[in-house]
Structure 1
Amino acid sequence: MSVAIPNVPARTSRRRGILTSRKGRVGFAILLALIAIAAFAPLIAPHDPNAIDAARILAPPDLAHPFGSDALGRDVLSRVIYAYRVSLGVAVGSTLLAFLFGVPLGLYAGYHGGWVDTLIMRPIDMVLALPALLLAVALIAIIGPGSDVALLAIAVIYLPILARVVRSSTLVVASQTYVEAARARGTPSRRIITRHVLPNAIGPAIVQATILMGFALQIEAALSFLGLGAQPPTSSLGVMLADGRDFLTQAPWIEIFPGVAIAITVLAFNFFGDGLRTRLDPRGVAR
């Protein structure tokens, strides 16, 4: 006797209008613009971001230099444009790396349960118990400072978060009738996971990852500000904040523009994440 498995489309109705939310569209548009700025920085930047001009030390904004100059006479606008390449690269790269490893771990832990769940989730719980910034600082202290090390440190922080989100979603999906029917029919576990569980459990993790990218940008800025991330003369938003901290009253534009850039990017990620939540996270829709 065979068991009929319902044909369950993986959220097709939710995919039709992923950007129907106004906030989601605004966030998506801003992020596209920022990614374009980072990708085409050499074409967009009006000046060499590392060019020192002694005649323009701490010069205020003008038509030729709309964001002013820093303590070395470097153009702040050009440095902000190039800083997006580093800061966005670390934020997006670290989250994608955590997503790449966290999703499979959460899937297998939630689907198989028992000793598999214990073996996977107990070390993850131990990492989650540690303060995030302290863990990042400890890893950088062991390996050494740099934007690539900051990327790795943030990925280690985010992997347990995404694994837990996927595990929770998997526990719900794995108890559904169509998954039980697939098991009763003798469908291999790997096929059940990839065909039935993953498409229906991945939504909340995508939403969470999108929002985490905004926080990753803040962590990267904090680490670079402390001298643990990107190193001068590399242009990073955190490095720029560190460069301007001694001139806050004399030349506030050195701090203001990188700070505004961070705020805009974080808001864009949050808006985009909220837009995705209405379509990909059923719990978010229920709320």
Structure 2
Amino acid sequence: MSAAVEIRARRGRRNPALIVGLALLGLLGGIAVFAPYLAPFDPESYDIQQIMGAPSWTHPFGSDVLGRDVMSRIFHGLRVSLLVSLSAVAASLLVAVPLGLLAGYFGSWVDSAISRFLDMILVLPAMLLAITFIAILGPGSAVAALAIAVIYLPILARVMRTSTLVVTRNDYVLGARARGASHLRVIVGHVAPNALGPVIVQASVLSAFAMQLEAGLSFLGLGTQPPTPSLGGMLSDGRDVLTVAPWVEIFPGLAIMAAVLAFTFIGAGLREAFDPAGVSE
């Protein structure tokens, strides 16, 4: 197993997509973390002299309909969008991985019970499920993250279940069982470490979709609420002035696109690194 991990790590280090994705995500994450220090202006400060001002040296991304600096709002909006999307996928993983492990390892009625529960979530359209959560709990970034986590729970759990079914057929798992190892020891020591690869890949891909879904909810006014800046909210603010002040719409859209590309490149790179066909190279 150590040799396989070493091979995957070596393949990851020389994978251009993974390197580009991590570098881009690191740049965006750095901007998000240090937004209060990097933003040239307060994202909520108004300047009537700069209403829909074009990009300039003072305001590189221009200003919006209220005279607020677009660059500063993007920097702070990235914090919210990345936090919501990453926390949603992480929360979904925390529940999906144990459910998938239990369903794939024990099978029988355990698999049936978990699978039926996941099917009930999976049949509901993603946006409808998110809107239902928000209608019950109210709008906000925390509720949006919870809704996205529930949406992706059956997807990640199914991937984990399938990966677990494959791993449990390997000789080292059968050998551990034959030596009298407990179920917990087999799952934690042998099954989980070798079944996590496809789930990690899927989670990185879903992070890109989570970014878009969070932006969509904020665009509709159901996600992050004003005055907190969000990329989706900025797109909503700029749609009415697209023809006269396109920068209000273009730059937040480019920020979302950059984040989605970063997650997509990471997913593509991880998929190649975890490809079992190349472990034996």
Query: Do both share a fold (TM > 0.5)?
Result: yes
Q: Does the residue aligned with 1:278 lie in a helix, a strand or coil?
A: helix
Asked if the contact 1:20/1:275 (under 8 Å) is kept, the reply is no
Match of 1:235 among 229, 234, 256: 229
Q: Once the 2 structures are TM-superposed, how far is the Cα of residue 13 of structure 1 from its aligned partner?
A: 2.4
In the alignment, which residue of structure 2 is the partner of 1:23?
17
Determine which of 203, 208, 216 is the counterpart of 1:222.
216
Change (3 A) 1:285 1:77: farther
2:21·2:264 contact (CA, 8 Å) conserved in 1?
yes
Counterpart residue type for residue 50 of structure 2: R
Deviations 1:194-236 (CA, angstroms, capped at 9, x unpaired): 1111111000000110111111010000000001000111110
Q: Indicate whether 1:274 and 2:268 are aligned.
A: yes
Q: Tell me the CA shift for residue 279 of structure 1.
A: 1.3
Root-mean-square deviation (Å)? 1.6
- Letter of the structure 2 residue corresponding to residue 73 of structure 1: G
Q: 1:261: which partner in 2? A: 255
Contact 1:207 1:281 in 2 (8 A): no
Task: Determine if contact 2:77/2:229 at 8 Å carries over to the other structure.
Answer: yes
The residue correspondences of 1:1-287 to structure 2 (distance < 5 A) are 11-282=5-276
Distance 1:8 1:251, change over 3 A: closer
1:10 Cα deviation after fit? 6.3
Aligned to 1:59, the other structure's residue is in SS state: coil
Instruction: Measure the CA separation in 2 of the matches of 1:242 and 1:49.
Output: 16
What is the distance in 2 between the residues matched to 1:105 and 1:284? 28
Q: SS of the counterpart of 1:18?
A: helix
Partners of 2:151 and 2:276 lie apart in 1 by 26
Contact 2:74/2:229 (CA < 8 Å) preserved in 1?
A: yes
Q: Deviations over 1:72-108 (max 9, x none)?
A: 0000000000000000000100000001110011001
Gaps of 5+ in 2: none
Distance 1:285 1:246 in 2: 52
Partners of 2:277 and 2:52 in 1: CA distance = 51
Letter in 1 for 2:152: Y
Residue 267 of structure 1 aligns with an amino acid whose one-letter code is: L
Give, in whole Å, the separation in 1 of the partners of 2:192 and 2:226. 42
Q: Distance in 2 between the 1:10 and 1:186 partners? A: 26
SS of residue matched to 2:12: coil
- 1:24-83 deviation per Cα after TM superposition (whole angstroms, max 9, x unaligned): 100100000111100000110011100000111011110100100000000000000000
TM superposition shift of 1:8 = 7.1
Distance 2:49 2:61 in 1: 16
The count of aligned residue pairs is: 280
Q: Which moved more, 1:104-113 or 1:277-286?
A: 277-286
- Whether the 8 Å contact between 2:167 and 2:195 is mirrored in structure 1 is yes
Match for residue 3 of structure 1? none
Distance between the aligned counterparts of 2:11 and 2:275, measured in 1? 13
Give the conservation status (yes or no) of the 8 Å contact 2:7–2:279. no
> 2:167 corresponds to which letter in structure 1?
V
Amino-acid identity (%): 58
Residue 19 of structure 1 and its aligned partner are, at CA, apart by 3.0
Q: Which 5+ residue runs of structure 1 have no aligned equivalent?
A: 1-6
